[in-house]
A and B are shown apart, each in its own frame.
Chain A
Amino acid sequence: MLCDHCRQRPATMVISQQIDGKQVKVYLCETCANENEAYMIQNNPFEQFMGGVFNQKKPHSKDQIKCNNCGMTIDEFRKNSKIGCSNCYYVFEGYLSPIFKQIHGSTRHTGKRPIKYNAELLKINQINNLKIALQEAIEVENYEQAAILRDEIKAVQKSERIVGD
Chain B
Amino acid sequence: MKWYEKENETYHGIIISSRIRLARNLRKYNFPSKLSDDDSIKVIDIISDAIASASDHAVSLFEKIDMQNISQIDKIAMMERHIISPIFIRDKIPSALILSKDESLSIMINEEDHIRIQSMEIGMNLYTALANAYHVDDLLEEKLDVAFDPSLGYLTACPTNVGTGMRASYMIHLPALETTGKLRFLLDAIGKFGLTVRGMHGEGSDAQGSLFQISNQITLGVTDEEIIDNLTSVTKQIIEQELVVRNKLIDEKRLEFEDAVYRSYGILKHVRILPSKEAMTLLSDIKLGLELGIIKTAEEKKINIFDLMTCIQPANLQKLQHKELNIEDRDIARATFIRENLPDLIE
Give the interface of A toward B (CB within 8 A): 1, 10-14, 16, 25, 27, 29-31, 33-34, 69-72, 80-86, 89, 96, 99-100, 103-117
Asked whether, in the complex, the Cβ of B196 is within 8 Å of the Cβ of A13, the reply is yes
Given A27-B187, A100-B159, A109-B164, A71:B221 Cβ within 8 A: no
Counting chain B residues whose Cβ lies within 8 A of the other chain, the interface size class is 35 or more
Question: A61 to chain B: closest CB distance in Å?
Answer: 21
Cross-chain pairs A/B with CB under 8 angstroms, 29 sampled: A1-B184, A10-B207, A12-B187, A13-B198, A14-B187, A14-B190, A25-B191, A27-B184, A29-B206, A34-B206, A69-B30, A83-B158, A84-B31, A100-B152, A103-B217, A104-B218, A104-B220, A106-B163, A106-B222, A107-B221, A109-B149, A109-B153, A112-B134, A112-B164, A113-B148, A114-B146, A114-B148, A116-B141, A116-B142
Asked whether, in the complex, the Cβ of B159 is within 8 Å of the Cβ of A111, the reply is no
Q: Which of A12, A69, A99 contacts B198 (CB 8 A)?
A: A12
Chain A minimum-CB-distance residue to B156: A83
Asked whether, in the complex, the Cβ of B30 is within 8 Å of the Cβ of A13, the reply is no
Given A84-B31, A117-B150, A1:B187 Cβ within 8 A: yes
Asked whether, in the complex, the Cβ of B30 is within 8 Å of the Cβ of A80, the reply is no
Chain B minimum-CB-distance residue to A100: B220
Q: Which of B148, B178, B183, B219 contacts A104 (CB 8 A)?
A: B219
Asked whether, in the complex, the Cβ of B160 is within 8 Å of the Cβ of A103, the reply is yes
Asked whether, in the complex, the Cβ of A117 is within 8 Å of the Cβ of B188, the reply is no
Asked whether, in the complex, the Cβ of A33 is within 8 Å of the Cβ of B204, the reply is yes
Asked whether, in the complex, the Cβ of B151 is within 8 Å of the Cβ of A31, the reply is no
Say yes or no: is B25 at the interface (Cβ < 8 Å to chain A).
Answer: yes
Asked whether, in the complex, the Cβ of A83 is within 8 Å of the Cβ of B153, the reply is no
Chain A minimum-CB-distance residue to B191: A16
